[in-house]
């Protein structure tokens, strides 16, 4: 019970967003929402009413998705003694906007942010590798795409009972979000996972990418998860045999 009480104490003390984070969240949400609603401002001609309505729906989708992604990382970070700071990626958002204009909204690049870890000294006592380390960052980063995957599963289940175009769009958005967040480009989650553990990255990227993509098509959920796990294991072993084992063996 003491560990649970300590965890909730950390949530009360360290989960809150700063004013700087809130500003970054709002900007990121509206930029990404504009990108995914780019093609929905009228069909034959510009329609401000339809555009504002679709932008509002896009804001709901993006806000829910980013906050769930961030929630997973903050929760896991606090569990292992780190405070997470949301960091809007200005250059990523600008590049995503350029891609949207060039492709007329057909290509979505969902790269809103990265994060920073802050060491909560008193809550890291007793942990191996006490201070901030690459593997700790990797585990926190991985929590984001995993929570996005859980959101996709929830939305897919809800859509099976109450089919809705907005839910379907939310599923597609989160599939793109999960995959792009795993790209090994700083400050995205994928870069932190890759530099924290190449072996973990070799499993996580294919497993999450395959599982999220299969959520779009009409495939049983359990089958999709099992298949993605097997793909992740196979590619993890392939990477280990082809590269990692040779690195550990060293020059002959």
Number of domains in the chain: 1
* Structure-model confidence comparison of residues 2 and 244, the more confident one: 244
Regarding pTM above 0.95, the answer is no
Q: Give the other-Cβ count within 10 Å of 132's Cβ.
A: 14
Handedness of CA 71, 76, 77, 79 (dihedral sign): positive
pLDDT, mean of residues 5-33? 89
Over residues 65-83, the pLDDT tens digits come to 999 999 999 999 888 888 9
Angstrom distance (rounded) from CA 92 to CA 107? 14
Where do the H-state alpha helices sit in 103-252?
A: 134-161, 165-181, 189-196, 198-216, 221-239, 245-249
162-216 pLDDT, tens digit per residue, is 899 999 999 999 999 999 999 999 999 999 999 999 999 999 999 999 999 988 8
Q: State the pLDDT confidence band at 218, using cuts at 50, 70 and 90.
A: confident
When pLDDT is averaged across residues 234-251 and rounded to a whole number, the result is 77
**185 versus 48: which is more confidently predicted?**
185
Task: Say if residue 120's pLDDT is above 80.
Answer: no
Of 131, 89, 101, 111, which Cα lies nearest the Cα of 183? Answer: 111
- Name every residue whose Cβ is closer than 8 Å to that of residue 237 and which is 6 or more positions away in sequence: none
Residue 161, C-beta contacts closer than 8 angstroms, at least 6 positions apart = none
78: domain range?
Answer: 2-249
């Amino acid at each position: 019970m003491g560990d649970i009480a300590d965890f909730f104490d950390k949530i009360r003390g360290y989960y809150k967003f700063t004013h700087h984070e809130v500003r970054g969240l709002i900007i990121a949400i509206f930029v990404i929402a504009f990108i995914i609603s780019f093609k929905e401002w009228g069909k034959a001609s510009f329609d401000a009413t339809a555009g504002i309505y679709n932008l509002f729906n896009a804001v709901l989708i993006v806000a829910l998705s980013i906050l769930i992604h961030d929630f997973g990382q903050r929760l896991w970070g606090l569990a292992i003694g780190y405070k997470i700071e949301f960091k809007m990626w200005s250059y990523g958002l600008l590049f995503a906007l350029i891609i949207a204009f060039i492709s007329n909204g057909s290509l979505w690049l969902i790269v809103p942010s990265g994060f920073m870890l802050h060491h909560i000294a008193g809550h890291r006592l007793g942990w191996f590798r006490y201070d901030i380390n690459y593997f700790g960052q990797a585990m926190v980063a991985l929590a984001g795409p995993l929570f996005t995957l859980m959101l996709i599963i929830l939305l897919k289940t809800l859509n099976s009972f109450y089919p809705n175009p907005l839910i379907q769009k939310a599923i597609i958005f989160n599939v793109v979000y999960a995959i792009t967040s795993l790209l090994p480009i700083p400050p995205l989650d994928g870069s932190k996972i890759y530099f924290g553990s190449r072996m973990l990255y070799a499993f996580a990227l294919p497993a999450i990418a395959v599982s999220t993509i299969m959520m779009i098509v009409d495939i049983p959920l359990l089958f999709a998860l099992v298949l993605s796990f097997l793909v992740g294991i196979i590619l993890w072993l392939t990477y280990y045999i082809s590269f990692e084992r040779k690195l550990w063996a060293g020059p002959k």
